[in-house]
Amino acid sequence: MLPIVYGGVFIVSLVLAAIYILIWHKHFDANFNMIFALVPVACLGYLFSSLATGLDTAILAQKVIYIGGSFLQLFILFSILNLCRVDLPRWGRLILFSLSAVVYASVLTIGYSDIFYRTAAFSVSAEEGPILTRTYGFMHTAFYVVLLLYLLVGLAAIVYSWVRKKEVPRRILLMLIFPDIICVLAYFVVLKVLGSSLDLVPVGYVLAEIIYLIIAQRVNLYDVSDTVIDSMAQESGLGYLSVDFSMRYLGSNAVAKQLVPALNEIAVDGFLGYHPSIRKVRHYLDTYRRDPKNNSFVLHVNSETENPEDDRFFAVTVSDLYDGPFRRGYIVAFLEDTANQKYIRLMNTYNEQLHQDVEEKTRHIVDMHDHLILSLATMVESRDNSTGGHIRRTSEGVRILIDELLKEGRLSLTPEFCRNMIKAAPMHDLGKIAVEDRVLRKPGRFTDEEYAVMKTHAAEGARVIHQILEHTDDEQFKVIAENVAHYHHERWDGSGYPDHLAGEQIPLEARIMAIADVYDALVSRRVYKQAFDFEKADRIMMEGMGSQFDPGLESAYVKARPRLEAYYSSLPET
């Protein structure tokens, strides 16, 4: 049975090598080529050993097997060092290669010297097939020492890179651990299968091939640019960054990192969330994902001199990221457009009075628009006999929380974000307009069926707001208002609704809204409960930090609590 097993393993190794050839890319590490070349050779040696008919052929099979044993772990180590961005000097590589070469040279002395195998005898068993009985020499012990040395150096490089090098992809580091360990441990494990001693080393080699196929396929995603493209980008002021479909950061060039300094702090494979410092980039991506036709934006970069004439402008374009014919994510490109934008500004100076008139009329329209939205929200609330005054109270709660966050200064919230957040707060329950009266106005707790109907108001609210604000020029307000309505019932631990988002996947504005919304529900009277006192409400809120609420907002809530209690105490009835 052993020839069948080893033959199957050899065929699988060849198939995997063929797949590697099909996906081969010029940016692949050259050590990958050696790994996929050595594994089939070593597996062929195990097949020969199971078919040996005499001592000479059995020894020859061992010499073929040890080509992999002596050099495969070396090239795995070299690939780990390269992928971990650990620079090993050429003389260091030469020493390690020479070490493996010396070990394999001792393998070639089998049958002529006792330094690797002291003795070797051949026999054939009806149960186990060909058997090579040997006792080991000192160089065989040295072989094990070299294998363990390569294993420890590789693991040390992986740990060092994980701690010190954010530019190294985390998924790659995790995957590198397995082939490094598997190929070494397999040498120390022999299984009794069908009455025969099955060596697991070739199986370990094939598993290593599979993992390296995954690594090779993934590595292409992190190759943001080659030298020529990067040079052209530097000369033209072109910046770009890329993310995959899960909004995991894949890489960027120097220009993009200069325009968006927060990129320097994000590890490759890190989540591109809604932190204020990269909110604009996330806004570009979210807008493009909703409507691929809407892929052009303008980025205004204020000058350090505070002179408006020194400001810079960049045309921003979002497009799909391709790996060959396959879509793999998104790419955001920044192209300097300062001259064109300054020309536009110059033209605007000749229409200053007209511009002021337009602004005044626009403000009037915006005020009417805001009043209409607030009236619509109030009308919706009037249908819900359990939450009277909820809009007014939660809006004030959001205002208090935003004020405390600004005092902390930890999140670096922009004035535009704060203004839009407070303005959007009254719209968070707008989706209840689509909930039928028998559920919305029920004087008591909901059944499971009724609660499922009520939960639809979150996604419905985002849809309604999108339609209302579809043609607004204030894109940032539109996004914040949609997010507040859509995600204010999501929970930090991912158990909320409607999309079960977790952690920083939940937009910051929705996380703030959730605290104000729940606090009001606790300290206000509802048809199914009396208002909780402030101590009980605070205890419930604090228990929810880290599960229901963003723990990063805990300190702001604690500081806001006295003002919240003072506000609610001033109300005639809550």
Residues 449-474: tens digit of each pLDDT: 888 888 888 888 889 888 888 777 77
Q: Is-contact 6 43, C-beta < 8 A?
A: yes
Which tokens hold the place of 494?
């991912």
Give the pLDDT score at 471. 75
Report the C-alpha dihedral over residues 333, 267, 417, 359, rounded to 10 degrees: -10
Q: Is-contact 496 518, C-beta < 8 A?
A: no
Give the pLDDT score at 438. 75
Buried b (16+ CB within 10 A) or exposed e, 154-176: beebbeebeeeebebbeebbebb
The pair phi, psi for residue 321, each rounded to 5°, is -100, 125
The pair phi, psi for residue 63, each rounded to 5°, is -65, -35
Q: Is 71 exposed, middle or buried (CB count within 10 Å of its CB: 0-12, 13-18, 19+)?
A: buried
Give the pLDDT score at 268. 87
In the block, which residue shows the tokens 């005639």? 572
Q: Is-contact 170 207, C-beta < 8 A?
A: no
Give the pLDDT score at 139. 92
Q: Is-contact 147 73, C-beta < 8 A?
A: yes
User: Which residues are CB-contacts of 470 (< 8 A; sequence separation ≥ 6)?
Assistant: none
Which tokens hold the place of 422?
């407070």
User: Which residues are CB-contacts of 550 (< 8 A; sequence separation ≥ 6)?
Assistant: 492, 506, 511
In angstroms, rounded to a whole number, what is the distance separating the alpha carbons of residues 396 and 346? 41
Bridge partners (DSSP) of residue 134 are 120
Give the pLDDT score at 228. 45
Give the pLDDT score at 231. 52
C-alpha closest to that of 180 among 275, 59, 73, 86: 73
Which tokens hold the place of 242?
């890329």
C-alpha closest to that of 329 among 319, 339, 315, 341: 319
In angstroms, rounded to a whole number, what is the distance separating the alpha carbons of residues 572 and 536? 20
C-alpha closest to that of 457 among 431, 491, 496, 487: 431
Give the pLDDT score at 109. 92
| CB neighbourhood size of 561 (10 A) | 18
Using DSSP bridges, classify how beta strands 312-323 and 190-193 pair: parallel, antiparallel or unpaired: unpaired
Mind listing the pLDDT tens digit for each residue in 52-97? 889 999 899 999 988 888 898 899 888 888 888 888 888 989 999 9
Give the pLDDT score at 489. 93
In angstroms, rounded to a whole number, what is the distance separating the alpha carbons of residues 21 and 207? 17
Mind listing the pLDDT tens digit for each residue in 276-324? 778 888 989 999 998 999 998 888 887 767 776 778 888 889 999 887 6
CA distances (Å), origin 26, targets 85, 213, 360: 18, 15, 59
- The CATH number assigned to the domain with range 227-349 reads 3.30.450.20
In angstroms, rounded to a whole number, what is the distance separating the alpha carbons of residues 96 and 214? 26
In angstroms, rounded to a whole number, what is the distance separating the alpha carbons of residues 150 and 162? 18
pLDDT, averaged in runs of 10, over the chain (574 residues): 84 92 78 89 88 90 88 88 86 92 92 91 80 89 89 88 82 80 70 57 85 79 51 63 91 86 87 82 91 88 73 87 82 83 63 62 60 61 57 88 90 88 86 76 77 86 84 82 92 92 92 92 79 91 93 93 91 67
Secondary structure of residue 323 in the 3-state scheme? strand
In angstroms, rounded to a whole number, what is the distance separating the alpha carbons of residues 250 and 28? 17
Give the pLDDT score at 225. 45
C-alpha closest to that of 429 among 475, 402, 392, 474: 392
The pair phi, psi for residue 322, each rounded to 5°, is -110, 140
Which tokens hold the place of 385?
């006999």
In eight-state DSSP terms, residue 441 is: T
In the block, which residue shows the tokens 């999309």? 499
In angstroms, rounded to a whole number, what is the distance separating the alpha carbons of residues 80 and 456? 49
Name the CATH superfamily housing domain 354-570.
Hypothetical protein af1432 (1.10.3210.10)
Give the pLDDT score at 194. 43
Using DSSP bridges, classify how beta strands 239-244 and 196-199 pair: parallel, antiparallel or unpaired: unpaired
Which tokens hold the place of 418?
């704060």
Rounded to the nearest 10 degrees, the angle between the axes of helix 457-468 and helix 448-455 is: 20
Give the pLDDT score at 399. 93
In angstroms, rounded to a whole number, what is the distance separating the alpha carbons of residues 543 and 493? 13
Give the pLDDT score at 483. 92
